[in-house]
Structures are given as structure tokens and as C-alpha cells.
Structure 1
Amino acid sequence: MKISAIQLNSQPNLGQNLEMAYNFVKKAAGKGADMVALPENFAFMGDEQKRLEQAEEISRATEKALKEWAVEFEIYLLGGGYPVPVENGKVSNCARLINPNGETIALYDKIHLFDVELSEKETYRESDMVKAGRDIVVAELFEFGMKAGLSICYDVRFPELYRELVKQGADILFVPAAFTRPTGKAHWETLLKARAIENSAFVVAPAQTGKHGKKRETHGHALIIDPWGNIFADAGEEPGMAMAELKLDDLKEVRRKLPALEHRVL
């Protein structure tokens, strides 16, 4: 299975972002990707209030585009996180996985919300606008004999989520993200490697990079990591993509040689 983790510099402009995402999906498919994963906030990023106000339009346009692209390029396509209106004036941060027939096979609402104070000038309160999800989501990728476990960004700091995904059969752990520059520099690669190693699973992490609007700045480095913790591909700091071939036999071999998942006590 050849997979591409896209890296974008999304802005508070829906049409521009969808055009940019489409071009990268097309490029990845042209290079033979069977599955393409887009990052968190790929359709709109940089002004949280406008994102909330435009959530219905963003959601409608995004879902239509994802379905059309999956069918056009005959690929699995993960929309890594976009706003979907829910009750009480809030949105969910939703990841949608679509198969090559244009059918939605999984929906995941981000469980862990990014409420942090990194400095006096950099504070985030995702829960002010987003309703947290509750469901753990694993989807079958039938043609490839593997299962995909879904998560989004801040989720990566909670290893119990990924252990549960693997207990439910996940072979590939998806972590589409918009990691801030300071936390990304400090923790991004380490956390992703840890999730891969401790679960003997592939990790695919599409990312945002650069400045978004006037204030937000992200780390970049979309990564694909193997079950041994080796980095297959790193997109660096510019918009682009990480690509790699994931082989089920390689995953099985790691789990055979080091059967830590079978040795769990708790």
C-alpha cells in the first residue's frame, strides 16, 4: 500500500485551500498513492472565529470535494480535520475517511481538545468552539488487509487512545495535525515515534506548516514512521508530502520478533 501524508500551509480562505489540497492529492495520486491523508484544518485555518462562523459552508464544500477527489483518483482519502456544526453553536473537529467509490467508511470526532497556555502571548482554547468526540474509530482497508485507527493532533499525547485503537485491530495510526511551532519542535517527532514503537504500528501524520493568517504558526514535518520507529519519510518545513510504501508483512514481522502487544498485563 503506497501512502501519502500531505503537508499544507492552509489559510483562512476556503476556496484557495481546497484548490491547494486538490493539487497535492492529484500529485500524490499521480505518483501512485493508494491512499492520501490531508492534515487537520486543511480546508480553513488562521482565524478561529471566522472558521466557526463559516463552519456550515466549510463542512458542505469539504465533504463534497473529498468524495469527488476519492472517486476521480480512485484512492482512499482522509480529510484530516474540518469543522462540522453541532449543537449549542459549536462544531466538531471531524476526520472523514472515504474509499475509492466515494463512500464514507469512517468518521472520527477529535476527543482531546487543545486547551493550553504556551506563553502569555500564545494561548489556545479549542473547547470554547469545539465539542469533544467520544468514540474510538477503526476502519477496514479491505484491499490491503489492514485497519486504520483515526486520531487528530493533540490526541497524540494520550497513549491510552492508541493502545485501544490497536486492541481494536489498527495496523496504521493516523495523526493528522496542525502542531504549533514550539510544541512541534519539542515533541512532535518523539511522540509519533513513541506511538509507533509502543504499538508496533505504522504511523502516518500529515501536517500543517508555516504561518496561517496573522497569528498561528505550525511546525511542519509530516511524517510516516514504521513499527520499529524508523522514519520512512519527512516532508520538511515547506508545503509538500511524505510518501512511503507500507507492507503488511513488515508489520507482522516486527510483531513476531518483538511480541510486546502479547505481553500486556494491564
Structure 2
Amino acid sequence: MKLAAIQMVSGPEVAANLARARHWMEAARAQGAELVALPEYFCLMGTADADKLAIAEADGEGPIQAMLSQAAHELGLWVIGGTLPIRSARADKVRNACCVYAPDGRRAARYDKLHLFCFDNGRERYDEGRVLEPGDAPVTLQAGPLKLGLSVCYDLRFPELYRAMGVGGPCDLLAVPAAFTYTTGQKHWELLLRARAVENLAYVIAPAQGGTHPNGRRTWGHSMIVDPWGEVLACLPEGEGLAIAELDAPRMAALRAQLPALQHRRL
């Protein structure tokens, strides 16, 4: 199966961001992709955290979710829809939700980001907990022949989440849509992605925000696809575009047979 990680440099205009996302989904399909993944916050990188509240959608309704569903159906793609804000029971909070759509346009899964990013080095300050409400549980699904595990950005730092997704059988593909900061990304992004791939003997698709946004924030980018041996198969350092690679199921099976680490776990 050919995979495409879409890198974006999203801004504060939802309609413009949706148009760019659709453009890159079409470009990926034209290059033979069967599964595409968008980055975290693909639909909005606003000027303030509260901007997410203004565009939040009801579960299963709204223009952002409709675009993802329509694109999946019209292009015949599995679509990992980055993240979008979905309303919670609290008026001052939203869920940062990753919705997956099947090639017939139906929503196949929704995962709400479990771990909320907080960082302060004296120059940069982020606290997602100001407007986000954390999710409740890991989510996996069957995406065609693949068992797909969902995670978002800061989740990457918590390996126990990926172990939990392997209960009942290992995931074949781990998705990590992200908007990593430039500061943390340059030190930790590739390191952590390759670690998650190796320790789970799984492919990893990591679509990211990558560039300087209208709000002044700079994201690390380096959208990539990593194989179960930790090899980076495709990487786009910065700017809009695609990282495309083939998921080789026989190679994954051979590596798991050669190094049956997943069967050796004691805890």
C-alpha cells in the first residue's frame, strides 16, 4: 500500500486550509497513494488558543468533517484527517480529534488526543490544557488490510500508549499527525518516531506542520514515513508537500519473524 504524509503550513483561514488540504490529497492520489494523512491542526493555526473554540464542530457534523468525508469518497482514499476541534460538554473546551475516513466516505474512527502539550523555556510558552480537554482511551481500527493505531503529536513521548494499541495484536501502521515546535522538533522528532517504529516493529506515518505560520509560530516539519527497522523512507523538511513511501507488508512480517521482540514481552 502506498502511503502519503501531507505537510502543510496552515494559517487562520479555515476555507483556505481546507482547499490546500484537498489539493494535496488529490496530488497524493495522482501519485498512487491509497492512504493519506494530514497534520495536526491542518484546518486552523490561529492567532490565539481560543480560536479553536470558534470553529469547533459537533461530532459528525460541520464543513471540516464534510470535506474529509467527501475527499475520501471522491478520491477513493483512506484519509487520516489530522486533527480538528470537536465540541465537548464544556463550553470553554474542545477535543483535539483525529477522524479517519474510509474510501466510501464513512467515518471509520475518531481518536481524541490523550496527552496535552505544555512547554515553557522562557521564550516559548504553550499549554494546550487551556482550551483542550484530553481524550479517554487509545483507538485502533482496521484500515483495509492494516491495523492502524492513532496518536497525535505530544502522544509520541508516551510509549505506553503504543503498547496499549498493540493489545490483541500489533499495529501495522502508527499515525502521528503533529505540529511539533521547531525547538523540540529539531532534537526529538525523528528520534522518537524511529523509536516508536522499532519498538513496535511497525510502520509510522507522521504528517506535520512545517514552516513559519501567519501567527508567527514556526513548526519543525520533517513529515516522514518510517519502516519497522527504523529506516526513514521519505521525509519533507519544510514547506507544503508530500512524503510518499510504500508499506511493504511482507518485509514487516519478515522482520517480525527474524526479531520476535513483540512475543518476548514480559510486562
In 2: Cα distance, 1:53 partner to 1:46 partner:
10
Q: TM-score, normalised by structure 1?
A: 0.96
Alignment of 1:115 onto 2:118: yes
Match of 1:44 in 2: 44
Match of 2:10 in 1: 10
- The amino acid of 1:244's aligned partner reads A
Q: CA RMSD in A?
A: 1.4
Listed as ranges, the matches of 1:73-84 within 5 Å are 73-84=75-86
In 2: Cα distance, 1:168 partner to 1:237 partner:
37
Q: Which has the higher strand share?
A: 1
| Partner SS, residue 218 of structure 2 | strand
Listed as ranges, the matches of 1:80-229 within 5 Å are 80-89=82-91, 90-117=93-120, 119-142=121-144, 145-169=145-169, 170-229=171-230
- Whether the aligned pair in 2 keeps the contact of 1:175 and 1:206 (CA below 8 Å) is yes
After superposition, the C-alpha distances for 1:153-172 in whole angstroms (9 at most, x for unaligned) are: 00000000011112343110
- Whether the aligned pair in 1 keeps the contact of 2:58 and 2:87 (CA below 8 Å) is no
Call closer, same or farther: CA 1:214–1:57 in 2, change over 3 Å: farther
In structure 2, runs of 5+ residues without a counterpart are none
Deviation at 1:52, TM superposition (A): 1.9
- Whether the aligned pair in 1 keeps the contact of 2:11 and 2:215 (CA below 8 Å) is no
In 2: Cα distance, 1:249 partner to 1:214 partner:
44
Match of 1:67 in 2: 69
After superposition, the C-alpha distances for 1:197-253 in whole angstroms (9 at most, x for unaligned) are: 011010000000112233321001001000000001001212111001102111111
Q: TM-score, normalised by structure 2?
A: 0.95
- Whether the aligned pair in 2 keeps the contact of 1:12 and 1:51 (CA below 8 Å) is no
- Whether the aligned pair in 2 keeps the contact of 1:138 and 1:168 (CA below 8 Å) is no
**Matched-pair identity in %:** 43
In structure 1, runs of 5+ residues without a counterpart are none
| Partner SS, residue 166 of structure 2 | helix
- Whether the aligned pair in 2 keeps the contact of 1:70 and 1:102 (CA below 8 Å) is yes
Match of 1:23 in 2: 23
- Whether the aligned pair in 2 keeps the contact of 1:220 and 1:236 (CA below 8 Å) is yes
